Amino acid sequence: MSQASLEAEKNTVPEPIINEDHCKGCGRCIAACPRKVLRFKSTLNLRSVRPAEYIGTGCIGCNFCFYNCPEPFAIEVYGAAKKGS
Ligand code: SF4
Ligand code: SF4
């Protein structure tokens, strides 16, 4: 990785991205988040459950939400290092 891309990675603000129609509303990510920056959305998704949503600030990029989610495409964290990378 070049110095420029290392700098870009360092300057990225981590943010969980939730694909709400893949979310089954189990709440594991909400329980796992050490910063308590995830919550249930007030509206239902296509699966008729309340999906998780990010409150918009405070994520530290720990990836606990990602690793605790049972659905492969429901949540990922941008700007955070993945295990093994
Ligand atoms: S990456 Fe960590 S701090 Fe950010 S939303 Fe997920 S569990 Fe919370
Ligand atoms: S752990 Fe995954 S499926 Fe469960 S509420 Fe969070 S994003 Fe949705």
Instruction: Please state, in angstroms and rounded to a whole number, the distance separating the CA atoms of residues 51 and 72.
Output: 15
The model carries a pTM of 0.85
Alpha carbon distances (Å) from 30 to 70, 74, 75: 13, 13, 11
**Which pLDDT tens digit goes with each residue over 21-74?**
999 999 999 999 999 999 999 999 999 999 999 999 999 999 999 999 999 999
- Asked whether 75 and 65 are in contact (CB, 8 A), the reply is yes
The class (CATH top level) of 13-73 is alpha beta
Residue 38's SS3 state is strand
pLDDT higher than threshold 90 for residue 11: no
Report the 3 state secondary structure along 47-81.
CCCCCEEECCCCCCCCCHHHHHCCCCCCEEEECCC
Of the chain, the end-to-end C-alpha distance in Å amounts to 12
The residue extents of the domains of the chain are 13-73
Ligand 1 atom having least distance to the Cα of 29: 7
Q: Sign of dihedral through CA atoms 80, 62, 54, 74? A: positive
Atom 8 (ligand 2) nearest CA? 23
Range of weakest confidence among 4-8, 38-42, 48-52, 76-80? 4-8
What spacing in Å lies between the alpha carbon of 52 and ligand 1's midpoint? Answer: 12
